Structure 1
Amino acid sequence: MGGGLKKVEEVLIRDQLDVIYSESKALLRNERHQDLALLFKLVNRVPNATNELKKIVENHIYEMGINTIERVSGTAINDPKLYIETILDIHKKYLILVQNVFNNAQDFIIALDKVKKRLTQTAGSTTKSPELLARYCDILLRKGNKGVEETDLEEKFNQIMIVFNYVEDKDVYQKFYSRMLAKRLVGQLSASDDYEESMISKLKQAGGYEYTSKLQRMFQDIGVSKTLVPEYEKYRENHRATGIADFSILVLSSNSWPFSAPPNFILPIELKLTFDSFTDFYIHRHNGRKLTCLHQHSKGELQTFFTRQKYILQVSTYQMVVLLLFNKALNWTVERMQDETQIKSELLLQVLFGLLKSKLLVCTDINEDELDEDLKDTNIKLNYSIRLATNFKSKKLRINLNVPLKSVE
């Protein structure tokens, strides 16, 4: 008797499946989860009847997810945090739906995973999702991140890995992550080595040893470099080297870091003595190796002696090379500067543009109004004459002039 009733029940439900499927769409739209759970139990009594329901749920989640992402897409392109948190909100909302309404059924979990993968692939492009995810990591791992408490960071890393698992092109993510990690390490911008290592460890668990091997070698290079400067100091004392500036250095493996060698130019003697001395020390220790200086990632400090008040200038290597020219002569044409330094013209013009805007240098061929408003680096001509601004003044004693340049990575 019981078997007969079950058969009758199955037939009755099967006859009403079209109505039930139609009703399920309305229940999903209106988020009537209790009614939807009852409907699922009903459909689950009929063999294979949940397949169509699963498709309905999958399409609903995808449609709602895309609509949610599109609502924030204009802002999210420039706000990685908003983009990733939107993806995570979608994940959390529909994971709860699958768990509570569909009893964590395996078919529905698989359907949810498919949707999340589609969302990360179609939300913008296959490269935009990994780039925004890497940029979000960069925000969390940099110094000065005031938006997240330290105790919440590990949870944020776990959430990042949820999105990472649905990124289709993980190599694109690794490329962006590697570049940003390199800038954090070289610029000493990381909030904590422990956080960096924790994030890499999670990526290693998800992507394997080879996926993170270059990232780990980058960390090793930083550690080894910390031992080099004190060893070089001993070498310098033993060889009685003179005229060497105080400096710190990072020696990076060329095949592990996403950096390329900059165009050649002529180092002033003040810098060349130091670089040559360290090169001799390093080659003596590692015969057969070659050092290439990444000037585009180097920086330093100069002290002014031409002003009444002495200032410390925080500058890029290129800015330093230009400013040190004024130890040789008080006036330089742009053309003579280029001949003396061999810095590429488009790069030299950018450097001069920044120094003129800072009012540290003066060009009599450019009027004050043009300098404040319309000046572009391309407006600076080779025959223009440049000199130090002997009346330079600043409220700050330490002045940061080091700004990013367009043609330098």
Structure 2
Amino acid sequence: DPKAYVECLLKTYQKYAGLVAETFKGDSKFSACLDKSCREFINRNSVCENSLKSPELLARHADNLLKKGGKYESLDLEESLNQIITIFRYIEDKDVFQKFYSKFLSKRLVYGLSISEDSEGSMISKLKELCGFDYTLKLQRMFTDVNLSKDFDKGFQDVFKNSDLKMDFSSLILSTSAWPLSIPSCNFNCPTELKKAIDKITGYYNTKHSGRKLTWLHQHARGEIKASFPNSKIPYTFQVSTYQMAILLLFNDKDEITFDEIKSETALSDDLINGNLSIFLKAKILIENNGKIKYNSDYKSKKAKINLNVPIKTEQKIESEETHKNVEEDRKLYIQAAIVRIMKSRKKLKHVNLMEQVISQLQSRFKPKITDIKKCIDILLDKEYIARDEVEKDVLVYVA
């Protein structure tokens, strides 16, 4: 539980910070010892097997606080954000926090779950004050994209208000460089009902921006569909993902359908079909009969609006693993960039001194491993950005 974890860290910090302040009158040496101890127990403790877990849990706690409709809405939000920053100061792997925070922020913005724009801005300002402009640049760009998308969407609605589109449809135009959203990993045949709207938006976008390409991220899209059942007096509204919508719309033409037919019509992977079918079967919207999937004509619910767009556990696990993998890839690039900057400035440097300077430059963002620095030096030697001195083999030379 991220909340319990952060509260435990805070309780320990406040206990000893109070001790230093009251008993030792804030003595600088005791304060330095407190800071050193906090860095150790916050980054390496019995809950976290390594220093990468603590920033992830802190980012998850921040997401829970800033998410609309969460169970922590009654808390003093500004005070809670300040507490997060108190812990964040001691986090060694600030790039891991940034990656997860960015991922969670993107979901809050895409799905309209932010508790308020002011609170989001307050948190970003606190991070910017601690880590600098570059650290929050992409986070701020996300808000710019959302606001620009509102203007684009209004223009689209004005132009096509009298068109033959039989649905309410809105879109977000997001820049690839700022958003941590991956390209769909599987094929997808978009339902005919949606394709018409998508084609119109793409056409309208092309009239506004030449030379740009839109890539539709269907795995992040969602919508609502109305469903009527023979033995129910009222129609139901299902909140679904685009993939779920594609599966359910197949039952407009058939009462029952096989797994292979769903795969053929939607082009989705087996895992995605199985994951979404299990949600429908659990909700009893669909039933399984002799290897075929059939819509449940006896379906009834006390709620008129049902949310079926719940995360599939395997997707959550994969997402966390991918985020950590992206952190590792980014670190290689940061280390290589630091090496080139140092060597360009110094022109000639001993191997040991270069390692020390790389660690010094990057430790505010993350603590690079010696083995990773060595690998990056080898990569840059192969790319001929740097070379070994012909006389002193432990000296590296910048190659202009």
TM-score between both structures, scaled by the size of structure 2: 0.73
Matched, 1:364 2:289: yes
- The whole-number CA distance in structure 1 between the counterparts of 2:277 and 2:208 is 39
- Equivalence for 1:388: 295
Matched, 1:401 2:325: no
Q: Output one character per residue of 1:107-147: Cα deviation in whole Å (capped at 9) or x when no partner.
A: 22212111111111222221121112111211211223454
- The whole-number CA distance in structure 1 between the counterparts of 2:312 and 2:147 is 28
Q: Output one character per residue of 1:220-247: Cα deviation in whole Å (capped at 9) or x when no partner.
A: 111111122210012224xx64235211
Matched, 1:313 2:241: no
- The whole-number CA distance in structure 2 between the counterparts of 1:393 and 1:106 is 67
- Equivalence for 1:323: 248
Structure showing greater Rg = 1
For residues 132 and 335 of structure 1, do their structure 2 counterparts lie closer, same or farther at Cα, with a shift above 3 Å needed? Answer: same
Counterparts of residues 37-56 of structure 1 (less than 5 Å): none
Q: Assess if the C-alpha contact under 8 Å between 1:81 and 1:136 holds in 2.
A: yes
Q: Output one character per residue of 1:29-66: Cα deviation in whole Å (capped at 9) or x when no partner.
A: xxxxxxxxxxxxxxxxxxxxxxxxxxxxxxxxxxxxxx
- The whole-number CA distance in structure 1 between the counterparts of 2:15 and 2:83 is 14
- The whole-number CA distance in structure 2 between the counterparts of 1:343 and 1:313 is 20
- The whole-number CA distance in structure 2 between the counterparts of 1:303 and 1:128 is 42
- The whole-number CA distance in structure 2 between the counterparts of 1:245 and 1:394 is 25
Report the Cα offset of residue 148 of structure 1.
5.9
Equivalent position to 2:268, from 322, 343, 347: 343
Matched, 1:294 2:217: yes
SS at match of 2:257: strand
Counterparts of residues 152-191 of structure 1 (less than 5 Å): 152-191=76-115
- The whole-number CA distance in structure 2 between the counterparts of 1:203 and 1:94 is 25
Q: Output one character per residue of 1:191-237: Cα deviation in whole Å (capped at 9) or x when no partner.
A: 11111110000000001010011111111111111122210012224
Counterparts of residues 131-146 of structure 1 (less than 5 Å): 131-146=56-71
- The whole-number CA distance in structure 2 between the counterparts of 1:213 and 1:90 is 33
- Equivalence for 2:159: 235
Q: Assess if the C-alpha contact under 8 Å between 1:244 and 1:274 holds in 2.
A: no
Q: Relative contact order, CA 8 A, sep 6+: which one is greater? A: 2
- Equivalence for 1:27: none
Comparing 99-108 with 317-326, greater Cα deviation is found at 99-108
Q: CA RMSD in A?
A: 1.8
- Equivalence for 1:222: 146
Paired amino acid for 2:192: I
SS at match of 1:181: helix
- Equivalence for 1:380: none
SS at match of 2:160: helix
- The whole-number CA distance in structure 2 between the counterparts of 1:161 and 1:318 is 38
Report the Cα offset of residue 248 of structure 1.
1.8
- The whole-number CA distance in structure 1 between the counterparts of 2:74 and 2:265 is 51
For residues 170 and 348 of structure 1, do their structure 2 counterparts lie closer, same or farther at Cα, with a shift above 3 Å needed? Answer: same
- The whole-number CA distance in structure 2 between the counterparts of 1:186 and 1:306 is 31
Report the Cα offset of residue 282 of structure 1.
0.9
Matched, 1:116 2:49: no
- Equivalence for 1:107: 29
Structure 1 ranges of 4+ moved more than 6 A: none
Counterparts of residues 204-215 of structure 1 (less than 5 Å): 204-215=128-139
Q: Assess if the C-alpha contact under 8 Å between 2:102 and 2:139 holds in 1.
A: yes
Q: Assess if the C-alpha contact under 8 Å between 2:55 and 2:91 holds in 1.
A: yes
Percent of residue pairs bearing the same amino acid type: 46
Paired amino acid for 1:224: L
Report the Cα offset of residue 281 of structure 1.
0.6
SS at match of 1:312: strand
- The whole-number CA distance in structure 2 between the counterparts of 1:97 and 1:405 is 46
Q: Assess if the C-alpha contact under 8 Å between 1:347 and 1:407 holds in 2.
A: no
Q: Assess if the C-alpha contact under 8 Å between 1:241 and 1:277 holds in 2.
A: no
- Equivalence for 1:88: 10
SS at match of 2:239: strand
Structure 1: 5+ residue stretches without partners = 1-78, 366-383
Paired amino acid for 1:304: A
Matched, 1:304 2:227: yes
SS at match of 2:40: helix
- The whole-number CA distance in structure 1 between the counterparts of 2:297 and 2:99 is 46
- The whole-number CA distance in structure 1 between the counterparts of 2:78 and 2:288 is 53
For residues 275 and 179 of structure 1, do their structure 2 counterparts lie closer, same or farther at Cα, with a shift above 3 Å needed? Answer: same
Q: Assess if the C-alpha contact under 8 Å between 2:64 and 2:72 holds in 1.
A: no
Structure 2: 5+ residue stretches without partners = 320-400
Report the Cα offset of residue 289 of structure 1.
1.5
Equivalent position to 1:129, from 54, 58, 61: 54
Q: Assess if the C-alpha contact under 8 Å between 1:135 and 1:177 holds in 2.
A: yes
Paired amino acid for 2:104: M
SS at match of 2:240: strand
- The whole-number CA distance in structure 2 between the counterparts of 1:305 and 1:225 is 33
Q: Report the count of equivalent residues.
A: 310
- Equivalence for 1:201: 125
- The whole-number CA distance in structure 2 between the counterparts of 1:264 and 1:274 is 19
- The whole-number CA distance in structure 2 between the counterparts of 1:269 and 1:110 is 64
- Equivalence for 2:391: none
Q: Assess if the C-alpha contact under 8 Å between 1:359 and 1:389 holds in 2.
A: yes
Matched, 1:273 2:196: yes
